[in-house]
Structure 1
Amino acid sequence: MEANILSQITELQGRNHFSGTVLVKKKSAVLTEGSYGYANRSEQIENHSRTRYGIASGCKLFTAIAVCQLVENGRLSFDTKLEDCLNVSFPHFDKDITIHHLLTHTSGIPDYFDEEVMEDFEELWVQQPMYHMRNLENFLPLFHKQPMKLKVGERFHYNNAGYILLGLIVEQASQMRFTEYVERFILKKANMVDAGYFELDALPKHTALGYIDFPNGTWKTNLYSIPVKGGSDGGAFVTVSDMESLWESLINFHLLSEKYTKLLLTPHVRTGDENEYYGYGVWIEKDDKDVLKYHIMGYDPGVCFHSAYYPKTSIKTVICSNKSDGAYEMMKTIEDVIYR
């Protein structure tokens, strides 16, 4: 299997010029690990196994784990109403919105970046410069006075604003900055030694710049295309080993008890795609009876990311890229081999 995976991803990289790092492990055994392209194109610094990559919405899982920890510790409950756990006025939001609704993207609130009506993420920063977006409360003016998009619980609607609110709830319940909470109680506990919420204008060593490619062959970095610092809806940086460590810690109950880990990994709502569900911060693909994979993903200008855990085989995959696309094709290529 190892040789087959490597040959397939090498062939794909030759076709689509994938830039990033790939890791595939079965339990503790590395099946494949490889790095391609440049972390810094101008200086021709190559990506490698310790390169840190942005993962965009992939770290919504961190937020869900943080909330579940606070529920487990008795500071919150999944049925807690939004208006009872956050001291912010939402004049048009339904009073019945709960933490469960926010976790499962079923709250019905408006999103600051609604993927059903917007395509260009960069449009957001015309009126609200991205270099001001350093704390969660900076996002509130983008959505908190808007009317509801849907009725509470009506359907799954992927929602970044909901996870901003969850981050603010974590801050209020823990009396810590969201990023500080995650770094202390998730990243450190999971031995994610190179991971963190880094500011784009103060990146640490071994961090890949994100690149946006244009049809004419030119490119630019994503410095002016995404918020300067990530938060509860996305934007952390990890190495592939960091993310593998997170899966290992999660499935072995090092971050949450068995009860709350199972609640996080429960298929709570159908997403609208066949056989696809959403738990708390994690996508879940099933066949008629069994879970085929738990997976997370993230896309921003200059960032694409996929990672999954396949419970039947105990295989974990991590694909981090510092381009706007390529990770999905890499994931499907790997799955074509491991599903055989």
Structure 2
Amino acid sequence: MIISKELEKLLDVETAISKFSGSILIKRDGNDLFKSSYDYADRRELIKNTMDTRFTVASGSKIFTAVAICQLVERGFITFDTLIKECIDISFPIFSSDITIHHLLTHTSGIPDYFDEEFMTDYEKLWENYPMYRVFTSKDFLPLFQEKEMKFQPGERFSYCNAGFILLGLIVEQISGMNFITYIQRNILDVCNMKNSGYFRMDQLPNRTAIGYIEDQKSKEWRTNIYSVPIIGGADGGAYTTTYDLNNFWSGLMGHKLLKEETTIRMLSPQVEIDDFQNYGYGVWMTIIGDEIFKYYVMGGEPGAMMVSSVYVKSSIRAHVMSNKSNGTAEIPSKIDELIYNSE
């Protein structure tokens, strides 16, 4: 089994190579195997990252949206087979009438995305003609995709879709009668004792929150990401949390504080195959090796942020890697995967 000294040696090397900025927490059975923070949360004021620093999880927070939908299913308001036209009163004139909740949760709906990762690479360009400071709610995203044509018919294939989770957020609001952020705070973050987590405005960040940084590839100078992402997160991403709060979330989910066991099993079961090793459930990725689930994980990346949070099934290890830089993070979770796999 993996031991702390191997972990420390690995991460000392990898964080130095990548010039990592952020925090890393690795736990097993409630015990810390490794914890450390690197570089600066605020470069201008020379405030360092700590284990209490809040980072955005970007698209990693799609799992919160998925849990919210699963809660509404448990309460009998909708089913996974409910058609979106039956639970949302917004017109989508060109969308298929056969799109279900399940399709949205698994990125198989075929609806157009406002940022299609199959064709687009520069997230910042989205806001050249539609300023990010206009984007406060899920409805504010609608002009970016509402009247575009379908990419394919529902259920035909997997295609990662941020817009699908925007629709799920609108469904949460319509059914619950609450603002999306309020719903997540009361029904997920508070339940999991995530006291340092929330959806914060970029221009009103609370204390102990890391500023996201983008490095210019030519000049090597840094700038913040305040003009690169929506002013506040929502159903498709953008929550802020700490490594310890993120671990509390997994404890709440796996411990059935958020959902009944049956619903949790469905959420964490492979729903669509991505490739020979990757599958997707409801808001969560999973790596499958030899017909067994090696790990569950969520990941997120945007200008000025990158993260991966993993739960390794056999070893009961959890690894949370959170960064306030756009690069220098990707190799670290892969190296942790390799070390844990070889030690099991």
Tell me which interval the TM-score lies in, with the shorter structure as reference length: over 0.9
CA contact 2:287–2:296 (8 Å) conserved in 1: yes
SS in 2 for 1:277: strand
Matches of 1:51 and 1:20, distance apart in 2: 8
Tell me the residue number matched to 1:267: 270
Aligned amino acid, residue 247 of structure 1: W
- The one of 315, 318, 327 aligned to 2:317: 315
Measure how far apart 1:54 and its partner are.
0.7
Give the root-mean-square deviation of aligned CA atoms.
0.8
Matches of 2:285 and 2:330, distance apart in 1: 14
Matches of 1:123 and 1:141, distance apart in 2: 16
2:94 is equivalent to residue 125 of structure 1: no
Aligned amino acid, residue 295 of structure 1: Y
- The one of 237, 240, 258 aligned to 1:237: 240
Tell me the residue number matched to 1:21: 23
SS in 2 for 1:23: strand
2:257 is equivalent to residue 254 of structure 1: yes
Aligned length: 339
Matches of 2:318 and 2:172, distance apart in 1: 28
Q: Deviations 1:224-282 (Å, cap 9, x if unpaired)?
A: 000000000000000000111111111111110000000100100011x2221100000
Measure how far apart 1:328 and its partner are.
1.9
Provide the TM-score with structure 1 as the length reference: 0.98
- The one of 145, 148, 152 aligned to 1:146: 148
Aligned amino acid, residue 233 of structure 1: D
Matches of 1:13 and 1:85, distance apart in 2: 46
Measure how far apart 1:122 and its partner are.
0.8
Tell me the residue number matched to 1:162: 164
Matches of 2:329 and 2:252, distance apart in 1: 23
Matches of 1:325 and 1:267, distance apart in 2: 29
Matches of 1:335 and 1:94, distance apart in 2: 39
Aligned amino acid, residue 30 of structure 2: S
Measure how far apart 1:339 and its partner are.
1.6
Matches of 1:212 and 1:241, distance apart in 2: 25
CA contact 2:18–2:329 (8 Å) conserved in 1: no
Measure how far apart 1:327 and its partner are.
2.4
Matches of 2:80 and 2:313, distance apart in 1: 26
Query: Any unmatched runs of 5+ in structure 1?
Result: none
Matches of 1:326 and 1:218, distance apart in 2: 15
CA contact 2:25–2:320 (8 Å) conserved in 1: yes
Matching of residues 90-105 of structure 1 within 5 Å:
90-105=92-107
- The one of 278, 295, 306 aligned to 1:293: 295
Greater shift in the superposed pair: 326-335 or 258-267? 326-335
Aligned amino acid, residue 320 of structure 1: M
Matches of 2:337 and 2:31, distance apart in 1: 17
Matches of 2:24 and 2:311, distance apart in 1: 14
SS in 2 for 1:71: helix
Identity %, equivalent residues: 47
Matches of 1:96 and 1:336, distance apart in 2: 41
Matches of 1:157 and 1:107, distance apart in 2: 8
Q: Deviations 1:31-69 (Å, cap 9, x if unpaired)?
A: 000000100001110000000001110000000000000
Moved over 4 A (4+): none
Measure how far apart 1:142 and its partner are.
0.3
